[in-house]
Structure 1
């Protein structure tokens, strides 16, 4: 299954960049390891332990080849598989949060029980996403007391403090996602939660419904609702109980709230947008779960206690004759590797440590995995295709389709060998306008005959650190290259930072093959040299082939006008996406990356602005 190297046999391998070496040594190597191949051997042996005795050495050899050929498991797997660390191999989870303080709220753990569960999850190395919408709004009546509720945002501060305090296994900083529905009475407090530098250990996203989005389009009002009864101190004539049991706390013009969301996203890059109805309609398991939140980076919409078992394939490894007129993508080699990667991620679910028993039960009932890719931007450059052009999007679409077809085919083979996931029901799984209902007919027939091992198989995650450490800084996930040469600040263990000059992998390979003075062609277009809409259109091209989600950040320059920014989330909803985030450097967000002088580039725009 080995693919030919993309490097000419006459040229030496690219020397490691200093930041790639330092990140590898700091985050991934274990005792007595010194290089990537040492990590590969440890990970391959660990994942092979899920295979039958007597076959493990064979599978360990195949898994090692897969890692050498460009499969890049997520950071938790790279750092902890095959070690004695008390760490999970799962990057992220979603944890439920109820409305009571310590008891159960219709099966949801009380707030401080949820806090303890999240702390244990982060201590074991997992990031956590939460939907805080069940917490009653500020001022609502608390039955059996003389007090009124604090609302979600004050409790989020407690979770933020806990995340900052807990040291995770493997020295990983805690990561959290906080979600609140757009119709929660405290939604404006949530949107403003980061206005003064708070909640630094959270990403924030608003859970947007189709009803709300349509109300924005139609310039109508929306009701702000919750199931908790308003207290006497805040009761108004507008408040009443609806037929569905929810209490109406007030009404608001949808466009006014929408404007508040977009102004906040423009000012400090949050909140992001999650389109809840699209997420749940598309969900293969909508017959047995409802999703209200995602993992911290947004690529995995998950039910309570759900997890994301992630890995990515480096697309640049499958570009033949890069930068030449004869450049092509090796779809056959890519599909073979994708199939083996599915088996490896399925094995992760059986060998990992689980922070909580509920997480283990949820994972083994549904066996979600998230195979994706990294290096899309660089691969398109190597194929002489612009990321922001129709031809580039069409190539990405074909790659995503090949990934889908290979992944589902192997998951069916695994179901025949190991059994389908326990919650599998063929009739329900293949109906109701879900992602799986739109699979090719031959694939659906196979699923009916053999079952499928994994309820979900595909997710495109951000891969900044693993792409930097294991793939010579290829462009991150689905993103285009941020810049061809830039300064990157890396956080040090003592809390300080160190600045590195980093070059993009495609540029380094181009210079090696074409010479230091060769002008760059028009395919060398970076994130800030294309329109924001071009970023959104790339997600729309790939999304129909990805069953879970895609983490995509639309990078916009600091001097982008608000008028050119304010419609991005609306465009994403109209294109059928599940979510989107933006990043515009400013005084409050700062900048981890700063573009430096751009190499000469024929046929491209002006130099990249500093970020």
Structure 2
């Protein structure tokens, strides 16, 4: 039962429960915040501490942006800012390069455990671990391969969960030319295996060329990482690999058909939803710090490609709060207010970097060297409905592009202005930065500002799944996703570790019913199942030019969707210039994401795998 005060809260009972169990601060004496406004006040005051003056005024401005869910910072910020606890305010980290030794592997495991214990999800590239069956020089034993060590990480994550710690989220990547890539692709055929990991294959441009030309593809490993004599008589070719500054000689383990390997990857995604695909060369080519970093992993949901020990500092602007006169002919999105809110959100997220604790000193060093942030949007589908636009219409994509362009350019202008007062991020090198592909496409006034004053943050934009915080904000549609279902039953993990099923209505539907009662819905009310996969791809591709990091997007297709057209989604994603692709088809191993009476299953971007 809820008290009168609780029922008068600006959030619905489901969102209230989520706030109470995940984000409300309770001190050591059991005294709890009495409202979500108290949480907003706490967060606003904590972030204002990074200001050198007028802290009270900045706290007031930050509070106004948080109020009514206009700006939704990452869950670790909501839960931890101003708490005084030894927790990080960063949702996720990519961890350090895995050294191929027992000491190196278990040192990395310890770092991962410390990071997850303080609330951060983790991403790892396992491509540096020698393949199964190779010889370990120090002991003369046979290497068990990266998948065996991934199981150790999976057990660590499960153990932390059993102690009552916040649930973990992990990403594992492996290159498409690693000798164990086929086992990696097949890993999730066992529904009990690696359940705390999201898996993604690092697909190179070279592989995509070999696929198009139906060529053989080498599976290989660096010579210098192998035991003496292990490459005797083997074919050797050079390849740029993670952990090396330049191409290195590699032993070719064997050749496989690029087409057969791709089909194995696609069949796995079709049958059990993983692995996802990361177009890693495109990620690196489009990296604003291309001269400084070599990226080979992302955070658990894929929207922030990061260097070793990089951190993701996320926030989403709630587009439904910028709609005037919803459902009417006069409905409009207030772009001026959106731009101003983007500028203030950049300041808040930059302050997070200054006030946050970090599980490891090297994470602090990396975060403060680049001052990366990831500002994005959420509630897009609901905003489109409130404007009378069908998600798959050209008009909807045009509106979405205007919104993300407004956020992106507002963020960059704000970061240039911050640099004038606070200085540029330490890794900034003016000439290199201005030559980054994304930066060359910015308007002249922003480039001129960077040339003159520098810029505070190396990266500014990302579109996260935002599932948990969107549910908190009265169940608005999440990220750039279409509405999955306007009414649904959803299982939500409670503070006591048990699940509770809730009947949920989408925000736009609830608002329509509030205004119009049982009047028939407008044609703009379209669910995900009614959309062709191309509508998902086109929306993601339309927004990517205004996102300097990446976009977390799941393309949902019906269970009866044919394999050939499913596989074509991934080829089209590459053709459209996307940085990655994940499609989900309900299947016997993972079930469905959301369904009446079924609740949630484990999948990459649902509430159980998102690092909220």
TM-score (structure 1 length as normaliser): 0.91
Corresponding residue for 1:540?
541
Secondary structure of the structure 1 residue equivalent to 2:458: coil
Q: Deviations over 1:248-270 (max 9, x none)?
A: 11111101000001110011110
Corresponding residue for 1:451?
454
Q: Deviations over 1:452-503 (max 9, x none)?
A: 000000011011111111x110001110111100000112345432211000
Corresponding residue for 1:142?
136
Is 1:319–1:328's contact at 8 Å kept on the other side of the alignment? yes
Corresponding residue for 2:608?
none
Q: Distance in 1 between matches of 2:139 and 2:15?
A: 56
After TM superposition, list the pairs within 5 Å mapping 1:279-298 onto structure 2: 279-298=283-302
Q: Distance in 2 between matches of 1:502 and 1:592?
A: 15
Per the TM alignment, residue 100 of structure 1 is displaced from its structure 2 partner at its CA by 2.5
Q: Quick check: 1:186 aligned with 2:184? A: no
Corresponding residue for 2:317?
313
Q: Distance in 2 between matches of 1:263 and 1:367?
A: 39
Per the TM alignment, residue 169 of structure 1 is displaced from its structure 2 partner at its CA by 11
Which has the larger displacement, 89-98 or 239-248?
239-248
Corresponding residue for 2:414?
410
Q: Distance in 2 between matches of 1:413 and 1:168?
A: 46
After TM superposition, list the pairs within 5 Å mapping 1:260-275 onto structure 2: 260-275=264-279
After TM superposition, list the pairs within 5 Å mapping 1:572-587 onto structure 2: 572-587=573-588
Q: Quick check: 1:528 aligned with 2:529? A: yes
Q: Deviations over 1:541-576 (max 9, x none)?
A: 000000011100111122222222111111111100
Q: Distance in 1 between matches of 2:176 and 2:380?
A: 33
Q: Distance in 2 between matches of 1:171 and 1:518?
A: 46
Per the TM alignment, residue 58 of structure 1 is displaced from its structure 2 partner at its CA by 0.8
Q: Deviations over 1:173-192 (max 9, x none)?
A: 01000000001110001001
Q: Distance in 1 between matches of 2:262 and 2:15?
A: 41
Q: Distance in 2 between matches of 1:120 and 1:168?
A: 15
After TM superposition, list the pairs within 5 Å mapping 1:463-482 onto structure 2: 463-469=466-472, 471-482=473-484
Q: Distance in 2 between matches of 1:459 and 1:563?
A: 31
> Closer, same or farther in 2 for the Cα pair 1:169/1:286, shift >3 Å?
farther
Per the TM alignment, residue 122 of structure 1 is displaced from its structure 2 partner at its CA by 0.3
After TM superposition, list the pairs within 5 Å mapping 1:73-88 onto structure 2: 73-88=73-88
Secondary structure of the structure 2 residue equivalent to 1:162: helix
Q: 1:460 aligns with which of 458, 463, 468?
A: 463
Per the TM alignment, residue 521 of structure 1 is displaced from its structure 2 partner at its CA by 1.5
Q: Quick check: 1:439 aligned with 2:442? A: yes
Q: Distance in 1 between matches of 2:8 and 2:475?
A: 14
Q: Distance in 1 between matches of 2:476 and 2:304?
A: 22
Secondary structure of the structure 1 residue equivalent to 2:448: helix
Is 1:489–1:592's contact at 8 Å kept on the other side of the alignment? no
Q: Distance in 2 between matches of 1:430 and 1:182?
A: 32
Q: Deviations over 1:115-164 (max 9, x none)?
A: 11111000110000011000011111222332121111001000111111
After TM superposition, list the pairs within 5 Å mapping 1:118-133 onto structure 2: 118-133=112-127
Corresponding residue for 1:7?
none
Q: Distance in 2 between matches of 1:191 and 1:67?
A: 42
Q: Quick check: 1:152 aligned with 2:146? A: yes
For structure 1, which runs of at least 5 residues remain unmatched after alignment? Answer: 1-11, 104-109, 597-611
Q: Deviations over 1:411-448 (max 9, x none)?
A: 0010000000011011100115x211211122101100
After TM superposition, list the pairs within 5 Å mapping 1:199-598 onto structure 2: 199-228=194-223, 239-243=234-238, 244-432=248-436, 434-469=437-472, 471-515=473-517, 517-595=518-596
Is 2:231–2:251's contact at 8 Å kept on the other side of the alignment? no
Q: Distance in 2 between matches of 1:236 and 1:541?
A: 50
After TM superposition, list the pairs within 5 Å mapping 1:89-104 onto structure 2: 89-103=89-103
Secondary structure of the structure 1 residue equivalent to 2:491: strand
Secondary structure of the structure 1 residue equivalent to 2:377: strand
Secondary structure of the structure 2 residue equivalent to 1:483: coil
Is 2:205–2:281's contact at 8 Å kept on the other side of the alignment? yes
Corresponding residue for 2:4?
none
Is 2:173–2:201's contact at 8 Å kept on the other side of the alignment? yes
Is 1:488–1:502's contact at 8 Å kept on the other side of the alignment? yes
Secondary structure of the structure 2 residue equivalent to 1:83: coil
> Closer, same or farther in 2 for the Cα pair 1:341/1:232, shift >3 Å?
closer
Q: Deviations over 1:64-85 (max 9, x none)?
A: 0111150111100000100022
TM-score (structure 2 length as normaliser): 0.91
Corresponding residue for 2:22?
27
Corresponding residue for 2:62?
63
> How many residues were matched structurally?
574
Q: Distance in 1 between matches of 2:281 and 2:8?
A: 47
Which has the larger displacement, 481-490 or 434-443?
434-443
Per the TM alignment, residue 595 of structure 1 is displaced from its structure 2 partner at its CA by 4.7
Is 2:316–2:378's contact at 8 Å kept on the other side of the alignment? yes
Is 1:489–1:593's contact at 8 Å kept on the other side of the alignment? no
Corresponding residue for 1:51?
51
Which has the larger displacement, 319-328 or 354-363?
319-328
Is 1:264–1:271's contact at 8 Å kept on the other side of the alignment? yes
Q: 2:157 aligns with which of 144, 154, 163?
A: 163
Q: Distance in 2 between matches of 1:84 and 1:181?
A: 40
Q: Distance in 1 between matches of 2:164 and 2:366?
A: 24
Per the TM alignment, residue 368 of structure 1 is displaced from its structure 2 partner at its CA by 0.3
Secondary structure of the structure 2 residue equivalent to 1:64: helix
Per the TM alignment, residue 309 of structure 1 is displaced from its structure 2 partner at its CA by 0.5
Is 1:280–1:291's contact at 8 Å kept on the other side of the alignment? yes
